[in-house]
């Protein structure tokens, strides 16, 4: 998840100095402290439970429950898309992001 320069800088740093702690990357949704604040349900669940079983939304369509959490991930990463690509995305009610 690191670029070569970042990895080499981390490798060359002194132990405990400027290191990542509590999570393995800068992905905010990898840290349980933050995914709870975003009401994000990670794809991987303990004991084989289905992710959708943990998601409660306000409609009766049980087929779109994953979209509740997926749109959090998309929203947080939207800023990293080139503007021309982001403007082409069309979000629909049923949870599909399609290119126009």
pLDDT in tens, 64-93: 778 878 888 888 888 888 889 888 887 776
How many Å apart are CA 48 and CA 69, to the nearest integer?
18
Instruction: Provide the percentage of residues in the chain whose pLDDT is more than 90.
Output: 0
Q: Is 32 a domain residue?
A: no
Whether residue 92 contacts residue 98, with contact meaning beta carbons closer than 8 Å, is answered with yes
Q: Are 42 and 17 part of one and the same domain? A: no
Provide the domain limits for residue 68.
38-99
- pTM beyond 0.75, yes or no: no
Q: Is residue 17 part of a domain?
A: yes
- Which residue stretches of the chain are H helix? 4-12, 32-35, 65-77, 83-86
Same domain, 60 and 84: yes
Q: What is the pLDDT of residue 91?
A: 73
Question: Is pLDDT at 17 greater than 70 in this prediction?
Answer: no
């Amino acid at each position: 998840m690191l670029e070569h320069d970042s990895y080499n800088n981390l490798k060359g740093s002194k132990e405990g100095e400027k290191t990542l702690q509590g999570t393995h990357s800068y992905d905010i949704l990898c840290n349980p402290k933050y995914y709870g604040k975003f009401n994000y349900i990670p794809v991987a669940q303990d004991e084989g439970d289905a992710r959708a079983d943990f998601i409660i939304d306000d409609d009766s369509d049980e087929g779109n429950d994953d979209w509740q959490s997926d749109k959090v991930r998309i929203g947080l990463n939207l800023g990293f898309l080139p503007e021309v690509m982001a403007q082409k995305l069309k979000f629909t009610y049923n949870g599909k992001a399609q290119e126009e």
